[in-house]
Amino acid sequence: MNYYVLQVAPREEEKAETHIRSVLSSDACGECFHLTRLMRKKFHGCWTDVREKLLPGYVFVTTDNPAELYLQLKKIPLLTRLLGRELEYFIRLSEPEQKWLENLLGQDGGRITQGEVGLSQIAIREGNEVRIVSGPLARMEGLVRKINLHKMIAEVEVPFMGGRTVVYLGVEMVERK
C-alpha cells in the first residue's frame, strides 16, 4: 500500500475521515487516519497526558489504486485539496516520507488502526547527554534537532510533501545518571 495526503479544513480531520470511510469502497481506500501525538504537560504542578493533532489539516490514506481513489475523493465536499495532484490523480508520499511516517507510528508493514504517536523514553547520562531508550524517536535519531528537557518535547525535522517540516513529539525521562 502507498500513502497519500489530503488537506482538509483544520479541526475537520475526524469528520473528513468518517465521510471518506462511508463513501469510498474498500478497493479504493485502505487506511484513513490523521496523526495525533501524546504529550505530557504540567498543569498546577502535575504532569498530565494530553493528546494533540500532530499535523492539523492533513488526513492520510493508503491505496494501491490512486486513480480510483482520486475519482471517488472528488465527490467529497469536505476536502480542500488533494496534495501533489498531477494530471488525473495525485502523487504518493516518497520513500523517505513513508519511512518516517511508518517509523513514527511503529509500523513495519503492519495495519494502522489509529495514527497516534506515543511518548519516547529518554535517559540522561553524565554531562547531560541524552540517549533515546525507546519509542518513536528511537527509530528516528538522525532527524531529532533538539530535546527540551524542561517541557519534555523533542523537535524533529522530517521530510514532508517535498520539503522539510518540524514536528514536536513528547518525551519522558526514565533514567538519570
Per-residue pLDDT of the chain (177 residues; tens, 9 = 90+): 788 888 888 888 998 888 888 888 777 788 889 999 999 998 998 989 999 999 998 889 888 888 788 788 777 766 655 655 554 446 688 898 988 888 888 754 444 556 888 899 989 887 777 888 888 888 787 889 999 988 999 999 998 888 899 999 999 988 777
At 175 the pLDDT is 77
Residues 160, 97 contacting (CB under 8 angstroms): yes
- Specify the pTM: 0.82
Region label for 38, one of left (φ > 0), alpha (ψ between -120 and 50) or beta (otherwise): beta
Report the CATH number that the domain containing residue 14 is assigned in CATH.
3.30.70.940
Read off the C-alpha cell for 119: 511518548
Residues in the chain: 177
DSSP 87-129: TTEEPPPPHHHHHHHHHHHT-SS---S--EE-PEEEEEEGGGE
At 111 the pLDDT is 45
Question: Which range marks the domain in which residue 94 is found?
Answer: 2-176
| Total of domains in the chain | 1
- Alpha-helix residue ranges (DSSP H) falling in the chain: 13-23, 66-73, 95-105
At 82 the pLDDT is 60
d(CA 67, CA 28): 9
d(CA 102, CA 97): 9
